[in-house]
Chains A and B, each alone.
Chain A
Amino acid sequence: DTEVTQTPKHLVMGMTNKKSLKCEQHMGHRAMYWYKQKAKKPPELMFVYSYEKLSINESVPSRFSPECPNSSLLNLHLHALQPEDSALYLCASSQDPGSSYNEQFFGPGTRLTVL
């Protein structure tokens, strides 16, 4: 099963709201990723967790706060977002970043609108 799930599918929030995006995989993968994709652009890496530890933060503003409660789950906590943060947020996972095989599999995404 090569499935990554994400909830919710759509989210509308105001600039003062706090919300969370959730991602889950049951493939036994040890690396999980958050990407942001604006319309008509490629996905851009935000965060990487490897073995449940934050490995990469691509200089993302602190209003985005990632969390990896266990090896299957990845959350992205959102607070005081701006309208320009509206985008498709994609979660991905890969088997073992230390190995030579590191194919990434993506979830269906959460389409976020900030009003």
Chain B
Amino acid sequence: GIQVEQSPPDLILQEGANSTLRCNFSDSVNNLQWFHQNPWGQLINLFYIPSGTKQNGRLSATTVATERYSLLYISSSQTTDSGVYFCAAVNSGGSNYKLTFGKGTLLTVNP
């Protein structure tokens, strides 16, 4: 099956700093999602981005499908941005249901 790798595994920032999270995937995808898991366990949808660039407020994401990676940018970080960020992908050659998650990036934003 598809492999999804995220980096860095951990990231500590001061409030107001910018950051870039990376997601590499091993095969072509027809679904790529970024999630933020809050301390209570809720997975919040950030982006559905199998290709191209999207922006939502302080967050933006870019997926370069031909090079098999996606980037999540967080600007002017806030303490509420803390939590685990997951990238997850569906292999276009496999089941359309099976979302494979990376191991996540644990982000801590200090005041």
Contact = CB atoms under 8 A, between A and B. Distances in A.
A12 B35 CA distance: 28
B80 interface: no
A56 interface: yes
Interface residues of B, number: 22
Contacts of A103: 31, 33, 45, 48
Interface string A75-115: 00000000000001010001001101111111011010000
B30 interface: yes
B41 A111 contact: yes
Interface stretch (B11-19, B20-28, B62-70, B95-103): B95-103
B36 to A, nearest CB: 11
A45 B98 contact: yes
Contacts of A7: none
A41 to B, nearest CB: 8
Contacts of B61: none
A22 B41 CA distance: 17
Interface of A is mostly: strand
B82 to A, nearest CB: 15
A67 B33 CA distance: 27
Interface string B73-99: 000000000000010101000011111
Interface string A1-19: 0100000000000000000
Nearest to B92: A100
A2 B45 contact: yes
B104 to A, nearest CB: 6
8 contacts: A42-B104, A44-B101, A45-B98, A48-B97, A56-B95, A100-B30, A102-B30, A105-B45
